[in-house]
Structure 1
Amino acid sequence: MGGKVVKTLVLFVLLACRAGAQEPVQVPTETRDLPVINAGFEAANPLQGWSANPRAVADPEAPHSGRQSVRVTIPPEQTDMTGVYLTQQVPVLEGQLYQAEAWIKTKGVVAKELGERFSTGGTVILEWLDKKGEWLAAGAYADGSYGDTDWRRVATGTIRAPKGAGFAQIFLALRATGTAWFDDVKLTEVRRHVILRQPPFGATVADNTPRFQWEYAERADANLELSPDPNFPRGKTVTVARVPHSEASPRRPLAPGRWYWRVRLADDDADSVVWYFDQTAPVTQDCTEPTVTPAHAYLAQPRQPVTVKFADNVRVTRVTLTLDGRDVTAGARVGRTSVRYVPERDWEPGLHRLVVEVADAAGNQAACTSFLNRMPGVMRKEWLRQGGIAHAGKPRFLLGMYGVRKEDIAEMAAAGYDFVHAYNWDGPGSNESALEYLDEAHRHGIQAFIGFDRARLRAWDEAFVAERVAALGRHPALLAWYLFDEPDLGHQYVPPDQLRALYRLIKALDPNHPVIVTVAQSHLVKEYHHSYDVYWSMDYGTTAHVATNYDRHRALIGPRVPQMSIVHCYDQKQPGPNRGGNPDPAKFEPGPAMLRANAFMAIAHGSSGLCWWWWGQGSDAFLTVAKVPTAWAALKETVRQIKELRPVLEAQRPARQWVEKPAEGVEIHLWERKLPDRAVIIAVNRDPKPCDLTLRSSLLRGRARATVLFEERTVPVRDGRLSDHFAPLDVHVYEVR
């Protein structure tokens, strides 16, 4: 009995529906407004339903709608968080999408850090609480309003409630000085539905293992359910579980008759409508496609063979191979479950596509493309647990900068930086422009890490990934692949299993360059394990925050995974003109002391290399060191000092780390390492307070004095101890020989 030729062309499909059967309406997206208590502040008690706020009062003058709005004023002299928020908790469902909005008007709003929190202006914030009402996870900030603005709608992005969420917490925020009015608050639930495509509703299908296809707004694992009963009872339902793409076929033949089907996305709390089809092929008919497993590979040898495996429920009877559009079947050795191809001549450098097509006796077909990458002469670069990156086995403690345009590379090289990055290729930037960027870096003796178009990664575009890896992987200035920057955020979400699959593809094609990932939300870090070679923690903030955040992420990723710290060199308190601010370079923070302390704090906690965010990439979104000469000079001096310490930092020897507490509320974080010819101790004052410290170390025993590097002085050592004074956020580097 004959089978189908290709699954995408199902035989004998009749679209005539049975009498009385109507196709269910499919709606991709539905929204509903959740009840926000006193959303327009019209209640007799204007703040009913909202948190208490001594800075908030009802204002009947010119509300956005209704009789009144609420007004919040933060005086210019305030430094703490008093009155900066009005909050309300609203029940939500984990896995669903939500957006918060409010209408906001401002007068005289000026950016100011309050309570050591960066300024937001007048805005709305959405965060997540667990089912007990305890804080669970960060969410999203809307754009802030500064200066004098009329009423405008301000909304967060649409973000997904994380696992364990029970409530959304809406913040009406004025983290700035001045006055903001708030009115007409909304919390919208956005439900995305699965849209069924094939087999069509009411179709007659002569195929006992038909291919089912559906659509969803984003990539999500799906459960395909099939049953002869429209209620899908247990025991009568066939489930194809955790389907990563939007199509699947049942593993076993379906009996002739009417079958109902639906798709459920358990992780996203989304279901499709129910469709049916009539299956007419007998169970004994072979309608099952063969399967072909891709064999993506890095071609280390000039004539490296490639083996592609396949399988079928009966037996594969025909195999054809096409290499880069040329039929090479004659040169292949076909076995029962695999085919082995050995090239007639050496592989040419670059990307090759090997398409293997197989068919069984019933005419069922399948095809699969394997990407093969030949990159001769490429130096292996491996991120180490300590000491930075090994270039051909030699450790190098490297320093990098984000947001560097091609025209800025010369300045970065002159400043002593080793690698750079631009976000062009995290977006639609071409391979050709990336090569030009790498050429410029190479001309100046530095390297770059390059990303991938996030939209293409979200679409699971393996061909795009393979093309980028092959196009850039041979360039000597390529340091590493920047797989994804914050894949956990709702507006650019990539599921962990999808990111792991893309990571495996990159490593299959290029084992010579490390792969980097950053994760924004610490509670999701573990979800992205095994999708990177090195994890970069975003340790932006105070020197104390650098220490705690780095250690928190180290605990989450485990002791064996390389970790590098990203510290900040932009002003978190003063937004740039693109964000409504009017920053004053004279008030730039972090100042010289914090720039140095943050870098050395990351080193003291074990960072394997160091990178700063960011130079600015020509943007006015933030005030960065690029526009503050004194800060840039201080940062360059910090870079110079770290580079002078490279022999110590790169040494593959144990390092001791510990903390001293010389005074109430003051901590000195210490790191030491012994080399054959000397020993070095790094001491960092975590706090903006002065102190005196006496430290004891076995490395000081038998020494009379210690040199304080970069300070042109020495300190006496007695009985293995030295004493020194630390200014606020001070760093001392001691050397004994």
Structure 2
Amino acid sequence: MRERIAGCILVVMLSAGAIVSQPNAGAEAPPAAPVSNGGFEAGRADGLPTGWHGPARSFARDESIARGASSSLRYRNGDAARYELCTQRLALQAGAKYEFSAWIKTDNIRGGDAGGGAAICMEWSGKDGKWMGGHYPSGLTGTKDWTRVVGVVRVPREAASFTITCYGRPKTTGTAWFDDVEVRRVFDPPLDSFVAAPNYRGWLRADDPAEVRIRARLNLLDVQSGAEELKLEAALRDASGRVLARADARPKGESHELTLTVAELAPGGYQAEIRLLDGRGRELGRNLHELRRPEKAFGPRVTIDRHGRTIVEGKCFLPLGMYFSSINEKDLRLLASGKFNCVMPYGSPNREQMDMAQRLGMKVIYSVKDLYAGSMHCPKHIKTVADEERAVRDRLKEFRDHPALLAWYLNDELPQSFMDRLEAHQKWAVQDDPNHPTWVVLYQVDELADYVRTFDVIGTDPYPIGRHAPSMAGQWARQTVGTFAGARPAWMVPQVFNWGNYEKGDKSRLRSPSYEEMRSMAWQCLCEGATGLIFYSFYDLRRNVDVSFDEQWGRLTRVVSEIDSLADVLLSIEPTGEVRAEAVPGGKSWLHWTARRRGGRLFLFCVNNGDGEGEVAVTLPRPAGQVRLRGGGAGPAVKGRSFRDRLGKLEVKVYEVEEK
């Protein structure tokens, strides 16, 4: 399974539809390092380093091994059931961004779960002292010389206390040494932005509205000016530098959208500029966005329309797929029989496998996600960024014309420490293949905005069953779509596996999702704006210990077949009129809903996420004659423009409304 790690971003690169960030005029130099005795040179009588707190049976200051000076922190553990930490409290600024790091040396370290081993982490708690969260880079295992482990995170504004920790992940045994632990402030530019419209690669297509919308994100923590004094200015220029449109605004809050109204544009390149100014007219930040009006004859094989829908060979397409390890004909035939239409194999297919997928009517999301030097699964011959570029461009050119290709899979949860290369890979894909979008999947749901220049389609992978409530699926989908104000399509990754496939030790609390949970989670994502679902994963269905493949496959195909039968409805963009649906009673809402109109009928999708139950109160745009339940059963009685119906926990109902 994909390892969940974190990292940092320090630079941005220019690409089609990307930005150039100018220096932050309002930033100050980083303050003094907040870690005390990060080199472990000072010690106490109990053998531990000064300023650090942990059990002496697992941790000790070691003067015989050090990376730089004379000492290090040694971790030694022979009991996999023992889980102990060595921690220091930090004085950090809530809401700020930090890079934390340590050099780690290991001797026969054995880890438990994926990402285990000798590691560091940063955690935070609220004013009430309760743990709020943390950031956890993957640990080191085996025997390795000094290796720098890095994490970058923006701590919550609600946090009140912070810690840095050296430790062995759960079930870790062996010996490790830590040295040169550091925490430093990372200053983001005060202005970041992306093009909200046009929503795909900065392409101004003939059917797009005559406007360019730029969404600005302000980071004012390091700017001395008050927010009421700030001003945003935007301009659209042609290739000669002539200004075609201007807009300005006084931003309110941390995000603001500027609209540049444009007249008929000839094919060619354009540039949108957005600037942030303080009250004295001083420039605090500037972004440049590259735009292009394609030739009218240009029609990509696969593209994203202005509504976020996937368009394949000119027709709307709702991606319904699964993750695979590698593909074969037997499995693809089975997948197609379950109403799936695409596959994401980690094992990058050869031409024979791509031909097979095409023959069976299956689209392929082609993975190049491992071609990053230093990443966990990177081929050994890729050692530099130049090696990456050759490998990525060769693969793009080899398969970009294959009719089975749906999209390129560029990133599987890589941290921000890879950001410059993530942006470069997106740039290469845009340059070498105008006919297919890119897709990335992240678990870093609170960091999505930082990745905006690395993809065409975004996805996140909430896997709650066995750990959290099923409502996590809808929450993540809402946040994923909302981060980009609906201006980037989202192919979400729902859970169908048992976490026990990836964890060791006690698995009694872990299980596979039920049919009701899988159905609710999938529909939660769709109601919150997902435009595709790629389930994780096919190979897990063969090793889930608590339910047979046939049983779980049967449950899953019921879910997918239902969605497939409504794909034309879900992809419809006919105006619905004003529809409202509310959970009764109110409070913490368990309700997700969306509406579509197709062929003169109004469809309402209502989903219970399991956090409660009750009635849904619906108000329609006009009086209705009858409300039917899709799939059979009597619909609720309608009174004029409204009706009510009860939704039990995890229940999904699709209402088909006949209007008068």
Cα contact 2:624–2:641 (8 A) shared by 1: yes
**Distance in 1 separating the partners of 2:392 and 2:115:** 40
Matched, 1:635 2:559: no
Amino acid at match of 2:436: H
| Cα distance, 1:694–1:700 mapped onto 2, change above 3 Å | farther
Counterpart for residue 611 of structure 1: 534
Give deviations 1:80-135, integer Å, cap 9, x for gaps: xxx998865478995564367999999xx9x9xxxxxxx99997663335899997
Amino acid at match of 2:372: R
Q: Secondary structure at the match of 2:102?
A: strand
Counterpart for residue 162 of structure 1: 152
Cα contact 1:402–1:420 (8 A) shared by 2: yes
Which residues of structure 1 form unaligned runs of 5+? 1-31, 52-56, 75-82, 112-118, 145-151, 192-375, 426-432
> Shift of residue 446 of structure 1?
0.9
Counterpart for residue 553 of structure 1: 480
**Distance in 2 separating the partners of 1:712 and 1:454:** 53
| Cα distance, 1:669–1:676 mapped onto 2, change above 3 Å | same
Counterpart for residue 390 of structure 2: 463
Determine which of 529, 539, 546 is the counterpart of 2:462: 539
> Shift of residue 33 of structure 1?
7.0
> Shift of residue 553 of structure 1?
2.6
> Shift of residue 599 of structure 1?
0.3
Aligned residues: percent identity?
18
**Distance in 1 separating the partners of 2:372 and 2:115:** 29
Counterpart for residue 364 of structure 2: 448
Matched, 1:98 2:102: yes
Give deviations 1:434-470, integer Å, cap 9, x for gaps: 2222112112111101122333596244333332222
Amino acid at match of 1:159: V
> Shift of residue 386 of structure 1?
4.3
Counterpart for residue 149 of structure 1: none
TM-score (norm 1): 0.53
Amino acid at match of 1:535: I
> Shift of residue 161 of structure 1?
3.3
Matched, 1:731 2:652: yes
Counterpart for residue 602 of structure 1: 525
The within-5 A match list for 1:318-333 is none
RMSD: 5.0
| Cα distance, 1:104–1:399 mapped onto 2, change above 3 Å | same
| Cα distance, 1:87–1:700 mapped onto 2, change above 3 Å | farther
Which residues of structure 2 form unaligned runs of 5+? 1-36, 59-72, 156-160, 183-296, 374-381
Which segment is superposed worse, 655-664 or 555-564? 655-664
**Distance in 2 separating the partners of 1:470 and 1:591:** 42
> Shift of residue 505 of structure 1?
2.7
TM-score (norm 2): 0.58
Counterpart for residue 625 of structure 2: 703
**Distance in 2 separating the partners of 1:619 and 1:41:** 52
Counterpart for residue 121 of structure 2: 127
Counterpart for residue 139 of structure 1: 136
**Distance in 2 separating the partners of 1:546 and 1:516:** 19
**Distance in 1 separating the partners of 2:41 and 2:649:** 46
Amino acid at match of 2:121: E
State the structure with bigger RCO (CA 8 A, min sep 6), 1 or 2. 2
**Distance in 1 separating the partners of 2:40 and 2:582:** 50
Counterpart for residue 423 of structure 2: 500
> Shift of residue 514 of structure 1?
0.8
| Cα distance, 1:105–1:534 mapped onto 2, change above 3 Å | closer
| Cα distance, 1:617–1:162 mapped onto 2, change above 3 Å | same
Give deviations 1:52-106, integer Å, cap 9, x for gaps: xxxxx9989xxxx99x9899989xxxxxxxx998865478995564367999999
Cα contact 1:378–1:476 (8 A) shared by 2: no
**Distance in 1 separating the partners of 2:38 and 2:306:** 49
| Cα distance, 1:657–1:483 mapped onto 2, change above 3 Å | farther
Cα contact 1:708–1:733 (8 A) shared by 2: yes
Counterpart for residue 716 of structure 1: 637
Amino acid at match of 1:454: Y
Q: Secondary structure at the match of 2:554?
A: helix
**Distance in 2 separating the partners of 1:72 and 1:37:** 30
Counterpart for residue 692 of structure 1: 614
Cα contact 2:117–2:172 (8 A) shared by 1: no
Q: Secondary structure at the match of 1:652?
A: coil
Amino acid at match of 1:557: F
The within-5 A match list for 1:499-518 is 499-518=422-441
Q: Secondary structure at the match of 1:401?
A: strand
Cα contact 1:39–1:185 (8 A) shared by 2: no
Which of 1 and 2 has greater Rg?
A: 1
Cα contact 2:123–2:133 (8 A) shared by 1: yes
Amino acid at match of 1:161: G
Counterpart for residue 448 of structure 2: 525
Cα contact 2:106–2:145 (8 A) shared by 1: yes
> Shift of residue 486 of structure 1?
2.6
| Cα distance, 1:557–1:189 mapped onto 2, change above 3 Å | farther
Matched, 1:438 2:354: yes
**Distance in 2 separating the partners of 1:184 and 1:470:** 46
Counterpart for residue 381 of structure 1: 302
